[in-house]
Amino acid sequence: MGNLNLHLASKAKKDEFYTQLPDIEREINHYKEHLKGKVIFCNCDDPELSNFWKYFHLNFEKLGIKKLISTHFVYEDIFKQGETYKLEYEGGNDNDIMVGVKTILIENGDFRSKECVEILKKSDIVITNPPFSLFREYVEQLVEYKRKFVIIGNVNSITYKEIFKLIKENKIWLGVSIHSGDREFKVPKDYPLKAAGYRIDNEGNHYIRVKGVRWFTNLDYKERHENLILYKKYNKKDYPKYDNYKAINVDVTKEIPMDYDGVMGVPITFLDKYNPQQFEIIGIDRYVEDNPNYGHRFKLNNKETYARLLIKKKEK
């Protein structure tokens, strides 16, 4: 392998981490009514490895799904791994998770490939953990084809220009079940990053802990319409104005002042508590993931704050 290929291989391997069943269950539980009679497509999921496939196969009848489809990617030009396939399941034996109709794919199973886009067009809801390195493109494709989705991403992708725009326009939002901390994912034994949160269980399976994980979705759920209960009152000392922008700074989401009607800068994790009936999102002070020099980059006493969302209370 040449240098470039080695680099690509190691970069690609970093995308190889697998979502655990309880994390999937905790989130999907909130969307049961959306799944009935629907075609579900997991397009980054090798049925032999993916707990998304496993979860929907095992619960196929119970959830009343119409059809489950998975496709997965092979790094054919790097690892020369050969062919990939589509697996489709329409019921019959929920317990044997390899039961399904297998069709060999002509292309490499890339979610952007023609074959996979054709499947996407015929599916109702896409549910998976896509490669973090292609998150922006991945979401753009779902939006382009107007699909419903529940996917895993990183909280920092809120600061991608394109993702932020969708959030601001209320076209996508964060999911229900992950709002803090980190989550454990299973990784192949030769996973390149031996980070602090690395764990090997009794059976020799390897895991990593990933920070900032969030679900992203455009399926509605009731919790996101509940008001955040506010208890603090506005005062100039606790909520200073930025040096370089006409808005007050709020360091902690739950301390948003209940009696302030102007524009406020809040941490991006405000979105974990965001009810679109209570607040409106006006902007962001920087696109961290795109261009670190973009935007206002709010300052207090000449010191830059962390990234801030600009919000305003909605009029009653």
Q: How far is the CB of 179 from ligand SAM (least distance, A)?
A: 19
Q: How far is the CB of 76 from ligand SAM (least distance, A)?
A: 11
Q: Of 6 and 21, which CB lies nearer to ligand SAM in the complex structure?
A: 21
Single out the residue of 185, 191, 207 nearest to residue 18, CA to CA. 185
- Cα 295 from Cα 270, distance rounded (Å): 19
Q: Of 100 and 265, which CB lies nearer to ligand SAM in the complex structure?
A: 100
Q: How far is the CB of 214 from ligand SAM (least distance, A)?
A: 14
- Cα 16 from Cα 80, distance rounded (Å): 17
Give residues in contact with ligand SAM (CB under 6 A).
Answer: 15-19, 44-45, 50-52, 73, 109-111, 128-131, 134
- Cα 149 from Cα 30, distance rounded (Å): 13
Q: Of 130 and 175, which CB lies nearer to ligand SAM in the complex structure?
A: 130
Single out the residue of 128, 119, 70, 68 nearest to residue 94, CA to CA. 68
Is residue 13 within 8 A of residue 204, CB to CB? The reply is no
Q: Of 19 and 253, which CB lies nearer to ligand SAM in the complex structure?
A: 19
- Cα 212 from Cα 73, distance rounded (Å): 25
Q: How far is the CB of 122 from ligand SAM (least distance, A)?
A: 17
Single out the residue of 253, 306, 262, 302 nearest to residue 282, CA to CA. 262
- Cα torsion angle, 55, 60, 65, 71, sign: positive
Q: Of 16 and 238, which CB lies nearer to ligand SAM in the complex structure?
A: 16
Q: How far is the CB of 196 from ligand SAM (least distance, A)?
A: 19
Q: How far is the CB of 123 from ligand SAM (least distance, A)?
A: 14
Q: Of 58 and 228, which CB lies nearer to ligand SAM in the complex structure?
A: 58
Pairing status of strand 182-187 against strand 173-174: unpaired
Pairing status of strand 39-42 against strand 303-304: unpaired
